[in-house]
Structure formats: structure tokens, C-alpha cells
Structure 1
Amino acid sequence: MTAIVQVEGLKKSFGKFVALKDVNFSVNPGEVVGFIGPNGAGKSTTIRTILGIIKKDAGKVTVFGKDAWQESIEIHQQLSYVPGDVALWGNLTGGEIIDLFMKLHGQGDLVKRDQLIKKFELDPRKKAKSYSKGNRQKVGLIAALSVESELYILDEPTSGLDPLMESVFQEEVEKLKHAGKAILLSSHILSEVERLADKVVIIRDGKVVETGTLDEMRHLTRSTVTVSTKDQVASLVEVQGVHDFQQKGQQATFSIDNKHLNGLLAALGQLEVVKFEVVPPTLEDLFIRHYEN
């Protein structure tokens, strides 16, 4: 499969400040890549380099096989982009701005536009200067989703939206994925990334520190276990891979390295189990693992 976006050894400095040290990842057709990291980690700088807004210092950045800086005009004909804080022309209505963006792109679908306006509950007749942050984001999302693109770059796209509108956005991203579109999603809402992303890229201090599917990354962390028995549950503290063991009566709660789950099951086979729950690690767990220090 040929990658839509390919980033290899990307480096970028602003004066003495090194913003990107060594960034590597790809986005394939029909794939949602979650791009996460705290403020200042290099997410927006990476995205702006992919968009051809910033020129890289070193490395390789291609989109549709074309150089992101030298061939940005051709690239933009096939992509849609929504920033985290959409700036609009205050004296134009939301509907006029959506239509303008669609005309600039050239691949607009008026029927889909009207459907999205209804779904996102936007009043397109109001002047943009009267819109809240959430409504400004809706304008950007509707404009981006109403055109036919092969790549969607979404940088904190649901910033300012309420949970109901976030759900509408997630449904639309699922449709794009099933249509074979490539999606790069940068979001601070980890549950959103966890629901949508096929692959997660974690960036820290300008360098990618983890990349892979959620299932692959979950092998690197621990599950949380709650177990109640009629026997001495305290014996489970001796099982290899058990951490943070806490007991209350005949119930114990602890975390365990996933590679040692078979050993835990063998130990439980020797006890009379009343209750047994295993909660897999969340994306928050993986994220905190990289930033807790």
C-alpha cells in the first residue's frame, strides 16, 4: 500500500530552539492516524510542514508522493484541513464562508453541505462575528467535510464543540475512513482518538516516542484486575507481574503486565473465584506513561 503521507527524519528549528528532532510516521488510505502529544511537543509544527506552510530543515515529507513544500499547490487540491481555532471573515455569514471554501477547493457537494449544516445544527444565516468558538469550528468542519478530498488533516477539530456535536464529527470521520480516505487526527481528547484511530503516533519534545496500533501498544502496559474469592485472595500478590496490590476483605485490585496474564489465570484456578474483572489499558494509560516524568 502506497502511503498518502510519508514523514521521514523530519527536523525543524526556530533559531536555537529545536522544534522537531526526528519525526517518522505515515498515513495510508482508509486509515485514521491519531497524532497526540502535549502543547509544545511539535504536533502543529509537523502538521504545518505537511501542509507546506513551514519549510523543513532536514528529512523528507511527501503527500501523494509529492514534496510537501515544493508542490504544495497541487497537494492542496486533494486535501481538506481544519485547524484548532478557525478564523473567519466577520462580515460574511457562515453559509457564505462555507460556499467560498467549497468554491476555492472546487470539489464541493451541495447536498452533503446541507446535510452537514443540519447535523451540526449551524445557523448559516448569521454573521461569523456573532459565532461562538464552537460555531466557528462547525463552519470549518462543514466546509472540509463537504468537499471530496483524499486526505483530511484535522488539528484539534472538535475544540469548542459540545459532546453531541463531537459524536456527529466522529460519525463523519468513520464514513470517510470506510470510503478509503486518509485521515490525520491531532486531538487532546484521548477518548476520541481511541475510538477513531487505527494507529497512534505519540510525539514528545519534537520526537516520536511511540507509534503503532492500540493493540500493539497495549502489550507495553498493564491491565487493571479486580478479583473476589472465597479463599485467601492475598496469595495473588505473589504472582509475577502484579503491581499496586490492594486488598479489602476478600477482594483485591491490582495491575498486571499483560504478558503475565496466563500466570494469573493459573493462580486463580487454585482459588474459588466469585468475581473477576479485567480492564484493558486505555490510551490515557499509554499517554501518561510517556509524560508522567
Structure 2
Amino acid sequence: MTSTSLTPTAIPSTATAIVVFDIDGVIRDVGNSYRRALADTVEQFTQGAYRPSQADIDALKAEGLWNNDWEASRELIYRYFEQQGSDRSQLDLDYDAIVAFFQQRYRGPNPDDPDSWTGYICQEPLLLQPSYLEQLTAANIAWGFFSGATRGSATYVLERRLRLTAPVLVAMEDAPGKPDPTGLFATVAALRSRNQIDAHVPVLYAGDTVADLQTVEQARSLQPQQRWIGVGILPPHAQQSPSYAAEYSQRLQAAGATIVLPSIEQLDSAQISSLIQT
């Protein structure tokens, strides 16, 4: 795989669009990694009584409040015990223990050392190739990443797996969680500064969850002078059946997606040109 480099002169000031990508479910398939770690964690902290399905996780995330999978794990644990008649205020849940267990499943027994990771993160299929990003660059389209993943996890896929050089990235540690658009604004500002892009250039944000599209809606309300376009991407687990794919697409459209695509690589320069011209 060839290295893709981002430099201050990679995109001229004649850039036609900015595309910001979510990572999980868009750049990499996390159905058997993050989501598996989430299910493992809920199962562990309910003493094996409850393991959430993909549909259970999707239903929670459709609420638009649970982009952080550690918090989503805790919430599903709370809800399980509430269904058993317990009051969450009386439950002695250790959030740090939840995070630590999750990280050991996702990263491995040495979660702070990327060189020794052996967890689920090592098995994630990629959903795009560097050649796709190179084609965007060739078409004068600037691109970067805004993700709720930790910086370590995001850097692992972008730099180690995709071999990107210093990509513009705003991760969990850098901004409030979605749907707060602060991180999206920061990503766009960094791309504009790096590539000398005019303020009027349209911005597309591609994501796979309700929170991602709600982020675009909030960005639009706070910066109405900027053109914001939400692009929904169907994650692989949502494409197991036509009926579920249709249901998932409707959720994304209801949250503000202008278009929903089954693959991020379908958001090519021609599709982007069509979206910004409509």
C-alpha cells in the first residue's frame, strides 16, 4: 500500500469541497470489534445475564446520545438492571472498571502500547483504500477526520493501517462528544488553514449514526452562512438484510442525511459534485 501524504499544499485554494469522515462504520468495520467489546462489557457487568444484540446497540445509538461506546456500555448495563426492578442511583457501577474491561477486549492486555495490541482492533476490515483519498485530492477535494474514537484507536487505523501521513484528525480527547459540532468545526478550520481554502467552500460530513447526522444539523444551526451536507453511510452490519438496511437508512435520513450510501467509496468526486450543485 502506498503512503498518502497531507501537506499544506496538497489541495490548492481552488478546492471545490471539504469532506470530513467519521471513522467507525465508515472507514473501518467495527461490527466485530468496538461493538463486540461493547457487548462483552455489558455481558460481563450483568454477570452474564444480558448480551446486547446489534439491533439493541443500534436502538440505543438511534437516540443520538450514545456515540461514546464506554458510556453506551454503562447505559445498557443500567437499563438491564432497571428492567429487573433496580434503581440506577442505587447501583454501584465503577465506570473506570467498565472502561478498563472494554479497552482490554478492544485493544488487548496492554491497551496503552499500540505496538503490542492483540485485541479486536487488529481484526477490523477497512472500508476504503488510500487510492480513494488520492482520487479526492486529485479532484481538489480536501478531506479529514472527526471521530468519537480515541486518538490512539483512530491513529492506529489511519496511520498504521491506511498509511496516511499526518492526517487532519479530531478525536475523542480533542472535542466534546457528538452531536456537539465543536469537533467538526475544528476539523474544518484545520483543513481550511492547511490548504488555504475559502470560507464559502461546502462541507460534507459522512457518518453512520444518528448522532453523526445530528452533528451536521447543529453545525448548520450555529453556522448558517456555511453550507453543510450530511451524508449517511450504511455500516456493514446494517446491510445484513434489505429490510434492515432500509430501516437504518430511514433513521439516517430522518436525522438529516441528504443521501445515504452503502459504501464510503461511493462518495466519489462525481457524487460530491452532484451534491454540492443541488
Q: TM-score range by the shorter chain?
A: under 0.3
Scaled by the length of structure 2, the TM-score of the pair is: 0.26
Larger fraction in helix: 2
Scaled by the length of structure 1, the TM-score of the pair is: 0.25
Larger fraction in strand: 1
**Which of 1 and 2 has greater Rg?**
1
Structure with bigger RCO (C-alpha 8 Å, 6+ apart) = 2
